[in-house]
Amino acid sequence: MLGLILVWTCIFILFLFIRIPRPKNFPPGPRPVPIFGNLLQLNLDNPLKDFERLANRYGKVYSLYMGSKPTVVLNGFEVMKEALVNKAVEFAGRSQDLMINHVMEGGGVILSDYGPGWKEHRRFALMTLRNFGLGKQTMEERILGEISHIVDQLNKVVGTSSDPKTMFHNAASNIICMVLFGSRFDYDDAFFKRFIDIITENLKIANGPWAMIYDALPMVRSLPLKAFKKAFTNAATARQMSLKLINEHKKTRVPGEPRDFIDCYLDELDKRGNDGSSFAEDRLKLYILDLHFAGTDTTSNTLLTGFLYLMNHPEVQARCQREIDEVLEGKDQASFDDRHNMPYTQAVIHEIQRVANTVPLSVFHCTTKDTELMGYNIPKGTIVIPNLTSVLNEEGQWKFPHEFNPVNFLNDEGQFEKPEAFIPFSTGTRVCLGEGLARMELFLVIVTLLRRFQFVWPEDAGEPDYTPVYGITITPKPYRMHIRLREPAK
């Protein structure tokens, strides 16, 4: 017993007196302890309040240690713009030693590190999305086609209350599936449901404390922990499912006549041959998973947040509907171009994105070389966390930073005006690839549904709870919405 007490006393003294050395002129921050760094000082279920508290104490640029890894947190629009825009290349890297990178093998385009391969694949993705009509009629038709399935589902539950989560998630998933695979899936399709379940399960793991423990404590990675094993097993299954889709495309494609993203990539492989580029079939498997995740979870969670607020701000919903009725009078369906004549509805949709704060910490960056920010030295390889929450709620950037109010996006004449601090898709070199697609989806879904239905908070649901569920993407707590059919617009 005495020996055990001595051992624990020594461990306590070790933690008390041994300091983790900081780089010279590194941003200030709480004192880390050996092995754990600052992990024990954060709420692993939701560290956003801790990040806010630390920014109030140490300033808009401060440091944390994820285990032994030095990490810098960026807060506020001025800091974010200086790092991600003015010094874009220095802050454009991705750390390759995090759980999500290991699970995804650092592939795709979102998680791959800055370099020639990333540049090639980002350029290819932007060009392919543009060629497939992003912002044009063909993409509108695909989105409106999927919205018709949402309308069918809602028509079946008019007069009742239902949980919209699965409906919005399936619709957003199908829209990106049409871009990637050239076709949509029935919501009950076994392959489709399995694909979504795998990604959803891995998101829960990546969102939770096990991922933070994996990232901060490399010594635990080899342990046979169920969460770790499940994440890697799921990823392997998803890659096999991606390969199945690729092989099906190989059998039916006509070279030079691409139907979708996979065909475009296979054409690119044919064109390049063995030119030493980063294009490869193995990378395509990861690319599909990368883009599917990016195009599904963010949009569906934003829609969930939007209808939660619209139900509980009926005056906002009604004003949108009046504007929609006026602009779309005589038209069968909305067009993305109609947004230019709907300043209030545009303001509401942008305000939904602001309060949804769907990707609160963006995707972690990493410095590509030694650099300087706001007077501090930041060494090459430092993990950088852009706290987008601090910008979307920042005092001085918004008229009403802490409440849902579309006036945040309206000027004195009542016209739509987007503040520079509106960066829910991040900013700079690593800005979200799917921003254009997401903007079109949100507008067409919200306008179409508000034109046809009225959404009401159920009388037996109690007070709405706006507290979000934290993760890589933020989602509202589960809720139900009551559906009423609107009178046809005159």
Using one digit for the tens of pLDDT, what is the confidence trace for 372-408? 999 999 999 999 999 999 999 999 999 999 999 999 9
What's the order of all strands across the beta sheet hosting 481-485?
161-162, 481-485, 453-456
Poorest-confidence range of 1-10, 92-101, 426-435? Answer: 1-10
Q: Average pLDDT, stretch 67-95?
A: 95
Lowest mean pLDDT among 74-88, 192-206, 253-267, 289-303: 192-206
- Say which range, 110-119, 350-359, 373-382, has the weakest mean pLDDT: 110-119
pTM of the model: 0.92
With beta carbons less than 8 A apart as the criterion, state whether 368 and 95 touch.
no
Does 318 have pLDDT greater than 90? Answer: yes
C-alpha torsion 326→331→332→333, nearest 10: -70
Instruction: Look at 442 and 285; give whichever has higher pLDDT.
Output: 442
pLDDT digits (tens, 9 = 90+) for 153-176: 999 999 999 999 999 999 999 999
Q: What is the pLDDT of residue 8?
A: 52
17 has pLDDT over 60? no
CA distance 365 to 240: 29
CATH architecture assigned to 66-485: Orthogonal Bundle (1.10)
Q: What residue segments make up the domains of the chain, in order of their start?
A: 66-485
**Taking all residues of the chain, what is their mean pLDDT, rounded to a whole number?**
90
Select the more confidently predicted residue: 73 or 277. 73
Calculate the alpha carbon distances from 199 to 91, 103, 169, 229, 427 in Å: 28, 12, 12, 15, 26
Top pLDDT among 17 and 271 is at 271
Instruction: Work out the average pLDDT over 247-251.
Output: 94
